[in-house]
Amino acid sequence: MPEMLPPRYPRIVTPVANHLARKEIERQWRAKGLRITRYSIIVAQAQTYLLNHPELFEQALARVRASPWHSAMAEREQRELEREERKRTRAGIVENPLAQTCLQNR
């Protein structure tokens, strides 16, 4: 049996996960009593935090599914992906049929 590829997250999940990571870094700074003077430092630390905590993507996906606005964006993206797939199929371009998105796993 062919190995299943990991599910693709909707594009909206990445900025939501970045937001969660930034908020966590800001919370940590406040707990230490530090003032945020340079936001670029927060962003850099949040990127590192996100790399070390991939579970934030699952939390972000849960938020996207719960939020009507975010889920509408994810569904719109899913429709666009399906439309592009139909166009490629008509053109004779075959892609990996095992690839699936997280929204299809609901």
Q: Which pLDDT belongs to residue 92? A: 78
57: DSSP letter: H
Task: Tell me if the pTM is above 0.75.
Answer: no
Q: How far apart are CA 46 and CA 84, in angstroms?
A: 33
User: pLDDT tens digits for 22-69?
Assistant: 999 999 999 999 998 889 999 999 999 999 998 998 999 899 888 888
Q: Which pLDDT belongs to residue 6? A: 47
Count other Cβ atoms within 10 Å, centred on residue 102.
19
Q: How far apart are CA 77 and CA 75, in angstroms?
A: 5
Q: How far apart are CA 71 and CA 49, in angstroms?
A: 25
User: pLDDT tens digits for 5-29?
Assistant: 445 677 888 899 999 999 999 999 9
Q: 88 pLDDT band (50/70/90 cuts)?
A: confident
Q: Which pLDDT belongs to residue 98? A: 56
What are the domain boundaries of the chain?
Answer: 13-105
Closest CA to 28 of 48, 54, 57, 55: 48
